[in-house]
Amino acid sequence: MWFTVSLVVILFIICLGGAAYETWMERKVAALMQDRFGPSRAGKFGLLQPLCDGGKLFFKEDFVPRNAEKWLFIISPGILMLIALSTGAVIPWGKSLFIAGVSYPVQVASIDVGVLYIMGIVSIGVYGIMLGGWSSNNKYSLLGAIRASSQMISYELAMGLSLLSIIMMSGTLDLRVMVEEQATNLYGISFLNGMAWNVFYQPLAFILFVTCSFAELNRAPFDLAECESELVGGYHTEYSSMKFGTFLFAEYINMFINSALISTLFFGGYSFPYMNKLVENGLGENWIGIISILAFLLKIVFCVFCFMWVRWTLPRFRYDQLMRLGWRIMIPLAILNLLITATVVVFT
Amino acid sequence: MSLKEKAYLPAILGGMKITLKHFFKKPVTIAYPEKKREFSPVYRGQHVLKRDDQGRERCTACGLCAVACPAEAITMIAAERKRGEENLYREEKYAEKYEINMLRCIFCGLCEDACPKEAIFLTDRIVMPEPKRNNFVYGKDLLVETLENRIDVSQRQIKSYTVEK
Ligand code: SF4
Ligand code: SF4
A242 backbone dihedrals φ, ψ, rounded to 5°: -75, -20
Q: What angle do CA B86, B54, B157 make, to 5 degrees?
A: 120
Q: Helix crossing, A114-135 with A70-86: angle to 10°?
A: 160
The pocket around ligand 1, CB under 6 angstroms, is made up of: B 68-71, 73-74, 100, 105-111
Q: Where are the alpha helices (DSSP H) in chain A?
A: 2-33, 49-59, 70-86, 114-135, 139-170, 175-182, 198-201, 203-216, 228-231, 241-266, 275-280, 285-311, 319-324, 331-347
pTM over 0.80: no
- DSSP string across A67-104: TS-HHHHHHHHHHHHHHHHHGGGGS--EEEEEETTEEE
Of B16, B19, B31, the CB nearest to A37: B31
pLDDT digits (tens, 9 = 90+) for A305-325: 988 888 888 888 888 888 888
pLDDT of residue B77: 92
* Chain A residues lying within 8 Å of B11, measured CB to CB: none
Closest CA to A213 of A154, A145, A144, A159: A159
Contact A314 B15 (CB under 8 A): yes
Arithmetic mean of pLDDT over chain A:
83
pLDDT of residue B165: 46
- B121 vs B151: CA distance, rounded Å: 10
- Between A and B, how many residue pairs show a Cβ–Cβ distance under 8 A? 37
Residues in chain B: 165
Contact B22 A33 (CB under 8 A): yes
pLDDT digits (tens, 9 = 90+) for A53-85: 888 888 888 888 888 788 888 888 888 888 888
pLDDT digits (tens, 9 = 90+) for B35-70: 888 888 788 889 999 988 888 888 999 999 999 999
pLDDT-based confidence at residue B138 (cuts at 50, 70, 90): very high
- B101 vs B136: CA distance, rounded Å: 6
Interface of B with A (CB under 8 A): 9, 12, 15-16, 18-20, 22-23, 25-29, 31
Nearest CA in chain A to B16: A313
Ligand 1 pocket: which of B101, B110, B122 to mutate (most atoms <8 Å of CB)? B110
Residue B158 confidence (pLDDT) above 70: no
Max CA-CA distance within chain B?
92
Residue A281 confidence (pLDDT) above 80: no
Contact B155, B39 (CB under 8 A): no
Closest listed ligand to the CA of B47: 1
Q: What angle do CA A151, A157, A161 make, to 5 degrees?
A: 145
